[in-house]
Structure 1
Amino acid sequence: MCRWLVYSGTPMLLDTILYKPAHSLIDQSLHSKLGVETTNGDGFGIGWYTDNDDSPALLRDVGPAWNNRNLREVAEHVRSPLFFAHIRASTGTAVQQSNCHPFRHGHWMFMHNGAITDFHLMRRDLTLLVDPALYADIEGTTDSEVMFYLALTLGLDQDPPTAVARMAGVVERVGRDHGVELPLQMTLAITDGERLWAFRYSSGHKSRSLFYSSRVDTLRRLHPDVAFLQGISEETRLIVSEPLGDLPGAWNEVPESSYGVIQPGADELNTFRPEPV
């Protein structure tokens, strides 16, 4: 399994979020507290948007995040209002650059923690359900990338929550056709560069950990001495596989079988259910 985070809000140097917190994602790559594995060293990736381009930039590599000089260099110089970061612990597919998250298609970006159980049994059936016009763009061999392209096939551009619900429904149907009782385990993030959707779901309703940050105005009242909170907008949010520190009141668990939407104005938290296709 993997660890990931999303930042959305006031443009920020990636270094501020990736390296500086007490339990940063880089620290989690060696010392994860809530993941299946303590160490997540099977590659990493970051993806970010700028004001000048609709399509996100990506930096991905197969080595561990904790000693990658290029990642450190980029993080100290790139500033973005929306970025994804992911550290990988492979569930069986190859350690190669094309298997590192985030994945990108046009203006969309996607990353995942979890697995399709017995994916090797379902790979052919699931990939054949991907729109032929999209199929050639699949570069790697992971279940995660297939999930992304299934969501694109099933209407991600029109209605992201419904597309993900249909994708989950397809995975569960195909899995059970192959005798897999609990086919899907997922926490995933998707963005179009403007809005962000984060999902927590598993077939057995025992999903991997996922947390979101409290409202900035609430944190300022609780912690008026924390300088970081004074320089960010009230719409700034983080979603993380596990908290970046132990600041009281900072983190809230995403409920089981739910999804959140981070967007201009009011954010949302809704129930998530797979949808039959």
Structure 2
Amino acid sequence: MCRHIAYVGPPVALREVLISPEYALYRQSWEPRRQQHGTVNADGFGVGWYADGDPLPARYRRPGPIWGDQSVVDLARVVRSGAVLAAVRDATESGSDGEAAAAPFASGPWLFSHNGAVRGWPSSLAPLTTALSPAELLSLDARTDSAFVWALVLHRLRDGDGLGQALTDTVLEVAEAAPEARLNLLLTDGESVTATAWGDTLWYLAEPGRAAVVASEPYDDDPRWHEVPDRTLLTATRADVLLTPLKEPSA
């Protein structure tokens, strides 16, 4: 379920990442090519980006399908950025969270997205609530599995963990509590992109020394796209891409 994408590199118009490519995230909202779970990503979308000289990202999110919002097309035409994270949300059961449930989630310099689902939510993750303070639990962005996973990641980031460590420890912890969880996570601080492949597709396109794109699926048929093996941590910067295997949680 869901599709997401992140870019770091020279500043480009958002449309060059999100709309113009033949199979861009915009089209993936109604016609994904490699989505293994779900069919239509129409239950909200969001775009986050960084402006020069400001470490805090801006966001544009809406509760409906991206194809029904002409404002995002205009926005993507004129806004330029060297770091972008965007997502379209799979159609889900009805709820009252609306825009608040749409990625990217944000805090401080970070943007986050979750492509996947946690089987048995919320009961399956109830034991993990002890890792969060009452204030953190009351501050959840939405009553969804993705918002709770983000809270776990954010807790670790605020404790000083690096992006890769925060994602790795969260994925292993959640996978142990809910073994059938799909946990493709995407996180950026505006300088690098960190992601996990855990139960769904993840690809990257790298131009070493210049730019990197990390996405649920390729936005075109460029042969330089590489699929990330399942159970892998990816770290991408403008310089290079590093893949690290993730170990299964112990039985």
TM-score under structure 2 length normalisation: 0.90
Contact 1:46 1:84 in 2 (8 A): yes
Q: How does 1:74-113 map to 2 (within 5 A)?
A: 74-92=75-93, 94=95, 96-113=98-115
Q: 1:158 aligns with which of 149, 152, 161?
A: 161
Is residue 168–residue 275 contact of structure 1 (8 Å, CA) maintained in 2? no
Map 1:232-271 → 2, pairs under 5 A: 234-247=209-222, 249-271=223-245
Q: Which protein is bigger by CA-based radius of gyration?
A: 1
The 3-state SS of whatever aligns with 2:34 is: coil
- State the one-letter code of the partner of 1:257: R
1:179 maps to what in 2?
none
Alpha-carbon distance in 1 for matches of 2:7, 2:157: 25
Residues 131 and 263 of structure 1: CA distance in aligned 2, closer, same or farther (over 3 Å): farther
User: Which deviates further from its counterpart, 90-99 or 109-118?
Assistant: 90-99
For the pair 1:13 / 2:32, whether they are aligned, the reply is no
Task: Give runs of aligned pairs for residues 137-148 of structure 1, distance below 5 A.
Answer: 137-148=139-150
Aligned-partner Cα distance in 1 for 2:166–2:17: 30
SS at match of 2:28: helix
Structure 1 segments unaligned to the other structure (5+ residues)? 176-181, 202-206, 217-233
**Residues of 1 paired with 2:127 and 2:234: CA distance?**
30
Q: CA separation in 2, counterparts of 1:118 and 1:132? A: 22
Residue 125 of structure 1 deviates from its aligned partner by 3.1
Distance 1:9 1:83 in 2: 9
CA distance in 2, matches of 1:93, 1:251: 35
8 Å contact kept, 1:167–1:274: no
Partner AA of 1:119 in structure 2: W
**CA separation of 1:92 and 1:273: change in aligned 2, threshold 3 A:** farther
Superposition deviation, residue 91 in structure 1: 4.6
How far is 1:134 from its partner?
Answer: 3.1
**What percent identity do the matched residue pairs reach?**
30
Q: Does the Cα contact within 8 Å between 1:198 and 1:259 map onto a contact in 2?
A: yes
Cα separation, 1, equivalents of 2:187 and 2:212: 15
- Secondary structure of 1:5's aligned partner: strand
CA drift of 1:122 comes to 2.7
Over aligned residues, Cα RMSD in angstroms?
2.0
**d(CA) in 1 for partners of 2:132, 2:177:** 13
* Contact 1:168–1:184 (8 Å) recurs in 2: no
1:16 is displaced (CA, Å) by 1.5
Question: Unaligned stretches of 5+ in structure 2?
Answer: none
When residues 66 and 92 of structure 1 are mapped into structure 2, their CA distance, relative to the original with a 3 A threshold, is same
- Structure 2 contact 211–238 (Cα < 8 Å) conserved: no
Aligned to 1:194: 191
Alpha-carbon distance in structure 2 between the residues aligned to 1:252 and 1:188: 17
* Alignment partner of 2:176 out of 151, 154, 173: 173
Aligned partners of 1:264, 1:140: CA distance in 2, in Å? Answer: 32
Q: How far apart, CA to CA, are the structure 2 residues paired with 1:275 and 1:159? A: 20
Equivalent pairs counted in the alignment come to: 247
Q: 1:19-168 to 2 correspondence within 5 Å?
A: 19-35=19-35, 36-92=37-93, 94=95, 96-155=98-157, 157-168=160-171
Residue 170 of structure 1 deviates from its aligned partner by 2.3
Look up the SS of the partner of 2:229 in the other structure. coil
Quote the Cα distance in structure 2 between the aligned partners of 1:155 and 1:132. Answer: 18
CA contact (8 A) 2:211 2:239 kept: no
Letter in 2 for 1:12: V
Q: Is the 8 A contact 1:166 1:275 kept in 2?
A: no
C-alpha distance in structure 2 between counterparts of 1:91 and 1:122, whole Å: 19
